[in-house]
Structure 1
């Protein structure tokens, strides 16, 4: 399981934690970002509580259109944001996000004595809303405790900024995998993402790559590495700055075969090479591939290219198709002594747009 961003139920509530126009607008912007991620990265990347709709409805905080209109009017944002557009972002998260309890395999039913250091929820009101945030943090913290990882991250409603919190609580009742030892005192670390650009402070591309098993995971790791490269050059990047690219249908099998899967010998080098090719700034130049003439794929007229990954005895190469529109398709990795490019299958390839390009 790679990184999963768990949307605070309180972020979906109206009324919210917002006390003024600036805080209200921040919530709208957060919703837009997580809505885009849910649309483009899918149900394995963004999650919500299984009871979010019921909990919000029971408290009278459900984000119906009338409540959204009231939020915009009372916050002085009428004319800045369209109520129906904002309403659709709430609905998109509720409809497209995965379910945390399904992704983690565990459902916490009863808990007590929650401790958070630092306490993200200190001073937040109303109390009922704070309890919803606490419940989400407990579910994330316990999931991380059981998995021994920090794969489940908290996408909070509060503007309190910190990279992580230390979590502990007594879990008295829970259902699902690995719950035989209940009750238990669970301790874990929860990474916190206040806004989407904070992702780089919470997850690292090499760690994502090591835990990746499917195309969407590898795509995400390459995107994060591209952002890390942009940041190292003095930029303040977001996902929208990562050019759209494609992972070919044979890419994962090729890295399994040539030391690029998990924490294998060439994993970090392959990751870095992929990201730099996506950004159009490879360490080693992309050169035409094919003799006597450059290969061209019949179905889309994409041109074959290759770049050096390593200069060791193995001599790994990254094989790429450059589409007519300028989009890079990372086809496969292979050694120089049997270098070839996989034509791939469109149905088995993977791409997202991050809401922009």
Structure 2
């Protein structure tokens, strides 16, 4: 299968052009069919391409010097969408000049631009930001929403579950991903009215390609007990930051412990294979690439601090979603919900 090229916002992220181009080149070394539209300052992109000959015949440059600031308000960035590297990368997807867009820039601005340019899919109220998180199980867990929607009602949560399950089927290969709602307890009586109503709807949705297994608490997200965790964007973003912070805390604590004495340093050498495995598992670059699900197109958000390996993973996420046609998968599953009596406006038929 020949994939459409991927538009890369080469100016986004903490390190900008160098890391974004290096990441795209790294992804192409593993998948030599990847092609790119690199959006940003042409002179800087060409300079970066000098050290990546495998990219020259596979890339086109769209010149743009204007960049969305990391702390720029989405409303202001939206007004400059037609002149910024981020906006032009997303617009390339809208115009069919690229199949997907990847950016490490301002998340709020990217969400606003993507939603305006690509629009929300028919039958869906809101898109959601989904990401892969490591677990103790064989597969990563998909969590959404991670910040695109602060307040969500039961209808939104049900739709997020459908989108997350469609994504999980691509990632895990499971025909019926295990789906749970993030809650303050696993008892059926716990949670807000919206969480309770969403749970009731999902329990009744026997025709969906998922197994709804109730609730999960935040400390169990990474245990490998479910494939999809669904929540509102406010709770999800807090949970994600707590998980990332805990991972950094463990990593830094181990560094301090192993450097505290000569005996500890010897212990580090003995246990190095285990600590390297832990480091690999906790490295966010190995799970980089959050996705805006529910749009009429594929947009992937890379961590702003991602290194080249992280950017390469974000590019590979975009390619995999294109290859497995995530947009049509979600459209099909939303149609199943409509047929079962859940109207798009949330009222039961």
Query: TM above 0.5, one fold?
Result: no
Name which structure has the greater RCO, CA cutoff 8 Å, separation 6+.
2
Larger helix share, 1 or 2: 2
- TM (norm. structure 1) is 0.27
